[in-house]
Every structure is written in structure tokens, then in C-alpha cells.
Amino acid sequence: MASVLRQSSRLPFKHLRASSRFTSLPIASSSALFNRSMASIASAPPHDGEKPFFPDEPENPTVKTEIPGPISKKAIERLEKVFDTRSLNMMGDYNKSVANYIVDPDGNTLLDVYAQIASIPVGYNNATLRKVASSPEMVSSLINRPALGNFPQHDLADILETGILKAAPKGMTQVFTGTTGSDANELAYKAAFIYQQTKKRGGPHVEFTAEEENASMHNMAPGSPPLSILSFKSGFHGRLFGSLSTTRSKPIHKLDIPAFDWPQAPFPVQKFPLEKHEADNAKEEQRCLDEVERLLVTYHNKPAAIVVEPIQSEGGDNHASPNFFKGLRAVTKKHGVLFIVDEVQTGLGATGKFWAHEHWNLSEPPDMVTFSKKAQAAGYYFHDPALRPNKPYRQFNTWMGDPSRAILFKGILEEIERLNLVEHTAKVGDYLYGKLEALQAKYPEEIKNLRGQGQGTFIAWDSPRRDAILKKAKTVGLNIGGSGAAAVRLRPMLIFQKHHADILIDGLDKCFKS
């Protein structure tokens, strides 16, 4: 999608007095139930912040069979004939899944604190999103999906300005949309390379030389310059061809795939608890910053940008302090390198801030911020007009994103605002972290390196028997994910409440006792 200058102000993510309260939708295919649900939204009293967001969701998990059960096994066997199921976690019945609970074909109902790899923001079968999904605007965008670069729909500016751009990080005024998180990062990398070469050439008005044009057709300099993107050890930025060269989390993602000769810097390895290791952690962060600067100056394929996650997610939920990221911003400015913050997994409130990099209090914003997952859309935000390519078709594909996803993003934002879910997630995260600290004291061998304090519900710990715990969790009605080599990571939805936290802690206690 062509980048669009935002004219509207940022969305004020503060609590609006709602005239409604959600009623969940146990049977998504029932139009009568949907109409009754929407009627209850219109007449329900204001939500007081303590009562359930979804009064009709299950009170507790229910496990009726082993997982997978007999019906799921038959469905998996059938699917396996036409689709690779080797990465399958569990089968879902999404017609019956509700709010924080995922239901499988055998009727097992699990509290979902993994949420489709951190990508469900406001619950399964959310009534308001169903209303958005059935709107005439959505129907039109789905059946007439436009090639946005060539044939944008007449109201695209309004869709962006009232949705994606309304949620833009502070200082960001423009957006380029894509399809997935990997796609968002690759588009940002392309923007960085084009920006640096345009500047080197003398500005956007300077034409390409015949030598550049000819060399590019042979994948050679100067048309294909020896530039790079610097990423970090254990980082994850996607599985597509370009983004994969910046992904450093697991070999299984990268084996047999040709890669670019791009540098990786060490990411700080923190010691926990943080308050007992301040000096050591500060020294480790400085070591990493020094190596970043060395690579920026000496690496043979000059970095055009660095890309970093606020919390390394797939690589093991690895954290660093705001001072480390301030240091990265400073060193990129010093050396004229662009600063890309990958908020694909951390964005949209999970850390108790709408964007995780807000925790850093930077003096000036990143150059680009990529997003996807909970946004149900994808792309990158930016603010410098020079990051727009100097000619058309330099950033281009058939669809360049999807208006239907942008429309859904707008509905998600309205729900986040209506229920004050960013502030809510910060408070519930503090509550959950305190409960986990108590559980850690009870089971010190099961919960190691507990981390994520003050980061909403973006919480993790290391477990010496991680895979066994994740498997056991399903037997007590919990769907939990892992990351890295040993981390148990929590990725609940923004509608996760204190009573859900109590259910989670009780289930974990049962797992640790086994």
C-alpha cells in the first residue's frame, strides 16, 4: 500500500465510559445468537473494570479427553493426507471457542494463554469484531480485494487515518502496509537500503546510472550494493527469504536456505533477579553496545540499519534495559544507520504500553516500527518522508496489504480503547507477576529466571523440563507456549483478567506437583 501521510491525531488510549458489556458467542455460526449478543451489548450497564468482560465465557477449563482426543485424531489423520501437520499443537474448533478459551473438536475447553502465538488481541468470537466483519465495508474489501498500488479504493485514506495511523507510535506519521510480520520487516529493510543509496547518490532527484541498472540485473555492485542489516543473536524477524537472514533464534528455521552475509551482534544476557545484578547487567549491556558500534564501523558489508525486538520473543524472551535501547538509538544516529524496532509480537498493549518501545522513553523515535500479529494487519510505520522511495514500483506488489485487515484493526483499536485494555493489561500483569513470584518461592526448581516484571503480561521463565510442563498443562486445561531452548512464555489476550490469572496459577501448581 502506498504510504499515506496521517492528518488525524493519535488515538487517545484512555478509558471511555462504555455503554455496553460483551456477551460472548459460543456458537459463531448462529445468527440468532449473534443478534441477541449485539442486543445485550446495547443494553448492558457500564463495565466497572472488575467484572468479567465476557459474562458468558466458561468459568473454568474443562478437559474431557486426552489431547488430542478421538475426534481430533480423526481430523488430524484426514488433514495429514493433504497438509503438513508435524508442527501441530492442537486442533481448534473456532466456532465454539470463546473469549479467553480455546475449544477443540472433542469439547476440551482450555484457558488460552498462548493466543495463536500472541496474535489474538480481544478474544475468540468477539461480538464487536463479528459486527465489523459482517459490515458492508468488510464484504466489499473481501470480494473486491484491490491491487492497492494501482487501484486503491476511494476511502483508503479514511480507513488508514481512523485505524492503523490512529495507533501510530509517537512521532510516526506514515505507514506502508504488508501482509505478515516477516513481510513487514522485509519491506522495512528494502526501505532502509533504498534510503541509504538514494542519499549516497545525492538525493531523490539523481537518476540511476546505466552501470547501476546493468549491474543490478546480474546481482552485482553498484546496482546491488554490498549493504546489510545488523541483527542480534537469538533474535527473530521472520521466515521469509530476506528476513531469515536476520533471524538467529533456531537452526531449524535457517538450515539449507542461502543467506545474506549480514552481521549479528550479541544481545545482553541478563542475570535475575535484576535488582541483585544491576552492575553486572549494565556491564553486559555496554559490552554489547561496544560490539554493535564495532560492527557498524568495520563490517565489510556496511549495515544500512539495525533491527531489534524490544523483547526477543521466539529466541527465549530475552530482555534488556531501556538504557541499552537508548544506547542503540544513540549509536545509530552517530553512524547514520537506521533504527528499526520490530514490534510484531510486542505491539498493541501486551507489555502494558501500547508499543513496547514506549518503555524506553527515547528522546527521538525509531526510524521505523514494524507491526503485525495482534494488529491482524502488517506493515511498518515511519516519519521521515525520505523513507518513501524516490520512484514508483520500488516498494510494490499486487496487494500491498489488505483493506479488510485494516478495517479489522480499526475494530480492535476501538475495543482496546473502550475497555481500557492497555492499562488493564499493565495492572493484571503486575498481579500475575506477584502470583508467579510466590509460586517460584514454592517451586524454585521449576521456575527459574522469572522475567517480565513491569512488562504487562509479557512474562516468561526458564524451566528445566519445559516441554513436559507444556504437555502436562493441557491435561489441567491450560494452553501455554514455549520459546527458545527452555523458556515458558505467557502470551494471554488483552482481555485476560485476574480471575484468569488465578486459574493459570492453580493449573501451574498442579503441573509442578506432578
Asked if 211 contacts 223 with a C-beta cutoff of 8 angstroms, the reply is yes
Single out the residue of 51, 23, 13, 124 nearest to residue 426, CA to CA.
13
Which of the following is catalytic: 96, 302, 353, 373?
Answer: 373
Buried b (16+ CB within 10 A) or exposed e, 212-225: beebeeeeeebbeb
CA 12 to chain centre: 21
Which of the following is catalytic: 13, 54, 236, 354?
Answer: 236
Residue 206: C-alpha distances to residues 2, 162, 199, 215, 221 (Å):
22, 36, 10, 18, 18
| Active-site residue, 151 included | no
Which of the following is catalytic: 398, 442, 467, 502?
Answer: 398
| Active-site residue, 14 included | no
Quote the DSSP letter at residue 99: B
Q: In 234-321, which ranges are continuous DSSP H helix?
A: 241-244, 251-254, 278-298
Asked if 191 contacts 387 with a C-beta cutoff of 8 angstroms, the reply is yes
Which of the following is catalytic: 342, 367, 402, 462?
Answer: 342
d(CA 312, CA 4): 30
Asked if 122 contacts 496 with a C-beta cutoff of 8 angstroms, the reply is no
d(CA 134, CA 132): 5
| Active-site residue, 373 included | yes
Asked if 447 contacts 487 with a C-beta cutoff of 8 angstroms, the reply is no
CB contact set of 106 (below 8 Å; sequence gap of 6+): 64, 65, 67, 68, 69, 70, 71, 72
| Active-site residue, 62 included | no
Return the active site residues: 236, 342, 373, 398
